[in-house]
Amino acid sequence: MQNQIIDLRRLHQFLSQQTIYPLLLSTFLCLALFSARVVQSHSLAFGNLIWNLFLAWLPFLFSIWAAALYTTNSGRWWVISFLGFLWLIFFPNAPYIITDFLHLAVRPRVPLWFDILMLAAFAWTGFFLAIASLRTMQLLVKKHVGWMVSWVFAGSVLTLGGIGIYLGRFSRWNSWDIFFYPKEIFYDVAVRLANPFSNLSFFGFTGIFTAFLIVSYLMFISIRRDSNII
């Protein structure tokens, strides 16, 4: 019994370090707001948010899975690396929800302010799922290859995240398409990179989104670092 209590405490401590409790609370808020909207409007408008939120949870789950493996058996780097690959593929899905504000419009039976709040809750949750998962993966990289490489890793991931969000929103690629259409996706990106003046929207969108992600991530890191000052 005592061993079980110790194991539960360790599990609780591990999950707390991964920020899972506030993320679950935020997810429940999203589901409650969406459910209230369905009841009020008698429609499944914005139903895509549920699917997008599910996809946003995948990179976070991959990251805590990798962290758990490292904690229990750090020698299994081939498994952790594979989980890191899956995490990277699905990472853009988490901050992608921010772009769902494009669907915002006045709709019958539900006030606009409610839809704004609901979209903000989903976007907030997806965004912090991305930030929390990146922090976990960066710490794993830091422990394995050092501080400097870990920040190069984080910056590269955020840049790729900005590109991935653009490809998902405007080119309509999905994360799993990388397994079925890798050449087409790489060609899509290569053409845009090779013709910058013909693809200003691509560079503008990815640049602004990447900057937003980087600044937000640095703020998150700063808050986490200073959380014990009082």
Share of the chain above pLDDT 70, in %: 93
Helix (H, G, I), strand (E, B) or coil at 105: coil
Mean pLDDT of 90-100: 94
Domain-located, residue 189: yes
| Chain centroid to CA 46 | 19
Q: Which residue has the higher pLDDT, 75 or 161?
A: 161
Helix (H, G, I), strand (E, B) or coil at 110: strand
Backbone angles phi, psi at 39, to 5 degrees: -65, -40
CA dihedral 79, 85, 88, 91 (to 10 degrees): -60
pLDDT band of 230, cuts 50, 70, 90: very low
Domain-located, residue 230: no
CA distance 57 to 154: 19
Residue 137's domain comprises 2-225
Domain-located, residue 18: yes
Q: Tokens for 167?
A: 């490809």
Q: Tokens for 3?
A: 């061993």
Q: Tokens for 139?
A: 């710490």
Q: Tens of pLDDT along 137-169? A: 999 999 888 999 999 999 999 999 999 999 999
Q: Tokens for 100?
A: 């769902």
Mean pLDDT of 31-56: 95
Do the beta carbons of residue 53 and residue 97 sit within 8 Å? yes
Domain-located, residue 121: yes
Mean pLDDT of the chain: 90
pTM: 0.90
Q: For the chain, how many structural domains are there in total?
A: 1
Domain-located, residue 78: yes
Domain-located, residue 21: yes
Which of 185, 181, 186, 176 minimizes the C-alpha distance to 86? Answer: 176
- Match 């995948």 to its residue by tokens: 58
Question: How distant, in Å, are the alpha carbons of 65, 215, 221 from that of 225?
Answer: 23, 15, 6
| Chain centroid to CA 142 | 20
CA distance 149 to 230: 31
Domain-located, residue 186: yes
Domain-located, residue 157: yes
DSSP lists the bridge partners of residue 107 as 110
Helix (H, G, I), strand (E, B) or coil at 107: strand
